[in-house]
Amino acid sequence: MEGRLTKQSKFQKSNADWALFLDFDGTLVDIAPSPESVHVPRELPTLLGRLDAALGGALAIVTGRSIEAIDAYLAPLRPITAGVHGAELRLGREQIISTALPLPPAAVEAISALSNKVDGVRIEIKRSSLAVHFRSNPAAAREIEEELRRVLIDGASGFIIRPGRMVYELLPSHVSKGGAIDALLELPLFFGRRPIVIGDDRSDETAFEAAERRGGLAFTVAGEHFSRDSADFESPLEVRSWLAAFAARFGAHD
């Protein structure tokens, strides 16, 4: 990936028509102890609405969360969203399209039992995906991974284990954030635009690759995955400030 200054200077010098693809947790909002305890700054929906207007609608949230969860956090805004790492897609106010089958019930049951067996484990069920969080007990990582491998062998073929920030997720093997971005860039709203992806996690790597492959820019945020020294942004707060400057630069002026 290019250096921080090179990317920012490419962005400053370019008058391209941009499209923005934004990750949610760890990028737009700070990481919290659990999925439910995340704090969404009051001004975030308004900021995203301004960006969406400045880009003529070429803005999408590309997240591991379900689209339902994103809608609840960003209400009243309903941005274009690729949810569950690309297993769900929703354009504007249209219905959510699910591109993946649900996890077999037996697999959900077997993994859910982990929360009774291992301290500090939290299960998040997202239809075609299941996240096993261990932020409260990082030492449990190996035990959880072994159990997930066993479940995959026993009857969840077509799914893979994707590691994230203090989480393992079981996901359909064909979905990725990069695939979702490639699909969105074929739509009239995004077509011909240069993508900017901002993300903080290992699951954002395919999205970064898609941005760079299509002549765009990939910006990283510091956290457990990217160090402060190497990341483009040190925190979601810094990302939001950058986005506010973006909206001011490209937004309508009176």
Ligand X SMILES: O=P(O)(O)OC[C@H]1O[C@H](O[C@H]2O[C@H](CO)[C@@H](O)[C@H](O)[C@H]2O)[C@H](O)[C@@H](O)[C@@H]1O
**Which active-site residues does the annotation give?**
23
- Contact stretch for ligand X (CB under 6 A) within 50-58, 138-146, 164-172, 205-213: 164-172
202 touching ligand X, by CB under 6 A: no
Residues 41-70 that bind ligand X (CB under 6 A): 63-65
Q: In this structure, what is the dihedral angle of CA atoms 41, 5, 217, 10, given to the nearest 10 degrees?
A: 120
Least CB distance from residue 158 to ligand X, whole Å? 19
Residue 233 touching ligand X (CB under 6 A): no
Q: Which is nearer to ligand X, 23 or 232 (CB)?
A: 23
Q: How far is CA 219 from CA 40, 176, 226, in A?
A: 21, 18, 11
User: Which of residues 108, 131, 151, 210 is near ligand X by CB under 6 A?
Assistant: 131
Of these, 7, 10, 78, 135, which contacts ligand X (CB under 6 A)? 135
The rounded distance, in Å, linking the Cα atoms of 192 and 142 is 44
Distance from C-alpha of 168 to C-alpha of 188, rounded to nearest angstrom = 35
Q: Which residue has the tokens 């760079």?
A: 212
**Nearest-CB residue for ligand X:** 64
Phi-psi region of 40 (alpha: psi -120 to 50; beta: other; left: phi over 0): beta
Q: Which stretch binds ligand X (CB under 6 A): 43-51, 106-114, 165-173, 182-190?
A: 165-173
Would you give the end-to-end CA distance of the chain in angstroms? 38
Count of C-beta atoms within a 10 Å radius of residue 174:
12
Interaction of residue 182 with ligand X, rule CB under 6 A = no
Chain positions contacting ligand X, by CB under 6 A: 23-26, 31-35, 38, 63-65, 124, 131, 133, 135, 164-167, 169, 201, 203
